[in-house]
């Protein structure tokens, strides 16, 4: 952060020892440490507040345009929205597909065999 090396720290410690003396140096070091901790916490809180404000603004922008919430900027089809077909169109498409498959079915199967008599002959007079 401040790009301070070991040599600079030693010079500051020796100057502090000479100026403050051995009795007051530990108290001064503790006070400086507490001050630096408070400053770091304050800076962290300010950064968190700024990030929270940015997120709040982004959410407000998304709420102004509800379609932007569902669209992804990364997806290639985000700009081309296609409406879903009506129920009538879907039914018409299915009916056309069924007609086409029925028209092709006899041609694919070949000649049809006569169906076997599904009803058995119960002409026995065993009663």
pLDDT digits (tens, 9 = 90+) for 59-96: 888 888 777 666 655 555 545 555 555 555 666 667 77
The two three-digit tokens of residue 20, written as one number: 């403050």
Which of the 8 DSSP states describes residue 77? Answer: T
Residue of higher predicted confidence among 5 and 111: 5
Please measure the distance between the N-terminal and C-terminal CA atoms of the chain and give it in whole angstroms: 110
What sign for the dihedral angle of Cα 29, 33, 34, 38?
Answer: positive
Banded model confidence at residue 11, pLDDT cuts 50, 70, 90: very high
Question: What is the arithmetic mean of pLDDT over 31-51?
Answer: 96
* pLDDT surpasses 60 at 48: yes
Mean of pLDDT values over 41-54 = 96
Give the HSE-up count for residue 36: Cα atoms under 13 Å, Cβ half-sphere: 8
CA 73, distance to chain mean position in Å, is: 12
Count of Cβ atoms closer than 10 Å to residue 71 Cβ: 13
Tokens of 31: 């006070």
């Amino acid at each position: 952060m401040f790009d301070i090396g070991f040599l600079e720290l030693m010079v500051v410690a020796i100057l502090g020892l000479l100026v403050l003396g051995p009795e007051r140096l530990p108290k001064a070091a503790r006070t400086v440490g507490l001050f630096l901790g408070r400053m770091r916490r304050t800076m962290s809180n300010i950064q968190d507040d700024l990030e929270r404000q940015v997120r709040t603004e982004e959410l407000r922008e998304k709420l102004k345009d509800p379609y932007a919430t569902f669209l992804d900027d990364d997806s290639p089809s985000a700009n081309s929205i296609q409406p879903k077909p009506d129920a009538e169109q879907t039914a018409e498409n299915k009916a056309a597909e069924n007609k086409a498959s029925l028209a092709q079915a006899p041609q694919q199967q070949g000649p049809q065999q006569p169906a076997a008599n599904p009803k058995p002959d119960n002409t026995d007079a065993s009663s």
